[in-house]
């Protein structure tokens, strides 16, 4: 026997028993974005490598070590998208959706990052992203956060999540602060962890969210960004906080929240949970007013967020808040025995589906004894089994067996079945 080929490490199959949970979450998200008037955009999964280098930033974790980059047959450097914002901006700009316009967009799909696979961290994972353009905020910043909060409330996980909020100010104030932080930390170069030593010259702000305790201790007395924040950003941030207060949305101010991507300025936020261990961020976003211009467009204010679908599914599972009903995929199992009955069953099934379009009906295929078929019916999760034998056929009736209720088996004329199923299943 030849060796079996397996899936790529960190890239998961989604099996049929898990997919109802994804579908449930996706449905909730579709309802949510529709309720706020956001429109869907779909971008390719492959983009020119330069797009990500120019937007995410050359010295970020993603571009330095996480991208799936390769040359295609023409020798062009292409990259499997590690996130959606860059492609969304590219597409919106390319099709003239940005200049002098306001857009509220969303997308969903797989992203690719070459990270060390572990619980909540994969090499192919899925995000739902929301991006808005042409709106300066802070009202739109607040809308995005209120929208995410509404989703958590509907899913029943709001209590397990904390909203962390920060502002990264204007690029001038960030630059001044970066210098001050670099000057301060350079004195303690030898005491910094290895990653932070490297970041000191490449991306010093990222040192703020280092997990290393010694580095964190050094940061206690570091210069504070608040002292460098420009007035415009301060007013924007205060405005956002007031809107969130008015909406009753709780948040924690986290001056260490800097985010891993270069394009953020002003508002940044993350929704985090304690319930998932180290991979605790389920949704993250912020404002990126400079990105459209950086990618060749006219200056366009923009703000958005992305949530990690795998982490949300994990959280909903951990908190046991998935509704039971979503695992049930069939209502009725149609069993038939005998040559005439078996071939009629397929036609009867078609007729029932036409007469009752919401019906979810599984037809037994392959024949066999009723006993065996009823066992299959039970395993299918169906509420009812319809039994069609030769003798019943000749009388124009079918038997109804209740699989989940303590009720006597009963017989009904075939012409009454659709109405009966509708009444019975809807009254449950």
- Residue numbers at the binding site for ligand ATP (CB under 6 A): 83, 113, 115, 120-122, 125, 127, 260, 279, 281-284, 306, 308, 310-311
3-state SS record for the chain: CCCCCCCCCCECCCCCCCHHHHHHHHHHHHHHHHHCCCEECCCCCEEEHHHHHHHHCCCCHHHHHHCEEEECCCCCEEEECCCCHHHHHHHHHHCCCCCCCCEEEEEEEEEECCCCCECCECCEEEEEEEEEECCCCCHHHHHHHHHHHHHHHHHCCHHHEEEEEEECCCHHHHHHHHHHHHHHHHCCHHHCCHHHHHHHHHCHHHHHHCCCHHHHHHHCCCCCHHHHCCHHHHHHHHHHHHHHHHCCCCCEECCCCCCCCCCCCCEEEEEEECCCCCCCEEEEEEECCCHHHHCCCCCCCEEEEEEEHHHHHHHHHHCCCCCHHHHCCCCEEEEEECHHHHHHHHHHHHHHHHHCCCCCEEECCCCCCHHHHHHHHHHHCCCEEEEEEHHHHHHCEEEEEECCCCCCCEEEEHHHHHHHHHHHHHCC
Residue number with CB closer to ligand ATP (85 or 363) = 85
Residue number with CB closer to ligand ATP (244 or 312) = 312
Residue number with CB closer to ligand ATP (233 or 273) = 273
Q: Which residues 6+ apart lie within 8 Å of 208 measured at CB?
A: 181, 219, 255, 256, 257, 258
How many Å apart are CA 268 and CA 291, to the nearest integer?
15
CB of residue 426 vs ligand ATP: minimum separation in angstroms? Answer: 38
Residue number with CB closer to ligand ATP (64 or 115) = 115
CB of residue 123 vs ligand ATP: minimum separation in angstroms? Answer: 7
CB of residue 205 vs ligand ATP: minimum separation in angstroms? Answer: 13
CB of residue 55 vs ligand ATP: minimum separation in angstroms? Answer: 12
User: Under a CB-based contact definition with an 8 Å cutoff, are residues 307 and 360 in contact?
Assistant: no
CB of residue 310 vs ligand ATP: minimum separation in angstroms? Answer: 5
CB of residue 175 vs ligand ATP: minimum separation in angstroms? Answer: 22
CB of residue 8 vs ligand ATP: minimum separation in angstroms? Answer: 14
CB of residue 225 vs ligand ATP: minimum separation in angstroms? Answer: 19
Residue number with CB closer to ligand ATP (104 or 206) = 206
Residue number with CB closer to ligand ATP (122 or 228) = 122
CB of residue 343 vs ligand ATP: minimum separation in angstroms? Answer: 49
Sequence length of the chain is: 428
Residue number with CB closer to ligand ATP (127 or 373) = 127
CB of residue 258 vs ligand ATP: minimum separation in angstroms? Answer: 10
Residue number with CB closer to ligand ATP (236 or 259) = 259
Q: How many CB atoms lie within 10 A of CB 382?
A: 23
Residue nearest to ligand ATP (CB): 308
Residue number with CB closer to ligand ATP (45 or 425) = 45
Cβ burial, residue 227 (10 Å; 0-12/13-18/19+):
exposed
Alpha carbon 285 to its chain centroid, in Å, reads 13
Residue number with CB closer to ligand ATP (212 or 281) = 281
């Amino acid at each position: 026997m030849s060796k079996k080929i397996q899936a790529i490490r960190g890239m998961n199959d989604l099996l049929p028993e898990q997919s109802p949970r994804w579908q449930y979450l996706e449905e909730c998200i579709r309802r949510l974005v529709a309720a706020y008037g956001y429109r869907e955009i779909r971008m390719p999964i492959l983009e020119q490598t330069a797009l990500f280098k120019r937007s995410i930033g050359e010295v970020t974790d993603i571009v330095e070590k996480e991208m799936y980059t390769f040359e295609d047959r023409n020798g062009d450097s292409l990259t499997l998208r590690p996130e959606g914002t860059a492609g969304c901006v590219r597409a919106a700009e390319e099709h003239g959706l940005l200049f002098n316009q306001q857009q509220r967009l969303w997308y969903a799909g797989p992203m690719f990052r070459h990270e060390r696979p572990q619980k909540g961290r994969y090499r192919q994972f899925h995000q739902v992203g929301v991006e808005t353009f042409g709106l300066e905020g802070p009202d739109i910043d607040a809308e995005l956060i209120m929208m995410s909060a509404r989703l958590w409330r509907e899913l029943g996980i709001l209590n397990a999540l904390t909203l962390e909020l920060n502002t990264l100010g204007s690029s001038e104030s960030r630059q001044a602060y970066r210098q001050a932080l670099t000057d301060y930390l350079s004195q303690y170069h030898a005491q910094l962890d290895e990653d932070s030593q490297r970041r000191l010259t490449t991306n010093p702000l990222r040192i703020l969210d280092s997990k290393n305790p010694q580095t964190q201790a050094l940061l206690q007395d570091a210069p504070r960004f608040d002292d460098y924040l420009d007035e415009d950003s301060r007013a924007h941030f205060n405005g956002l906080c007031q809107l969130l207060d008015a909406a009753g949305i709780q948040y924690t101010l986290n001056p260490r929240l800097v985010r891993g991507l270069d394009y953020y300025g002003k508002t940044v936020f993350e929704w985090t949970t304690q319930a998932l261990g180290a991979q605790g961020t389920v949704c993250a976003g912020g404002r990126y007013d400079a990105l459209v211009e950086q990618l060749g467009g006219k200056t366009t204010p923009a703000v958005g967020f992305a949530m990690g679908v795998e982490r949300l599914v994990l959280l909903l599972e951990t908190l046991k808040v998935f509704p039971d009903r979503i695992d049930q995929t069939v209502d009725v199992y149609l069993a038939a025995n005998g040559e005439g009955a078996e071939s009629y069953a397929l036609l009867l099934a078609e007729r029932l589906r036409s007469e009752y379009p919401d019906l979810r009906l599984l037809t037994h295929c392959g024949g066999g004894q009723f006993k065996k078929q009823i066992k299959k019916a039970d395993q299918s999760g169906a509420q009812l089994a319809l039994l069609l034998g030769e003798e019943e056929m000749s009388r124009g009736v079918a038997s109804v067996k209740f699989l989940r209720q303590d009720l006597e088996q009963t017989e009904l004329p075939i012409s009454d079945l659709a109405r009966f199923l509708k009444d019975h299943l809807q009254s449950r």
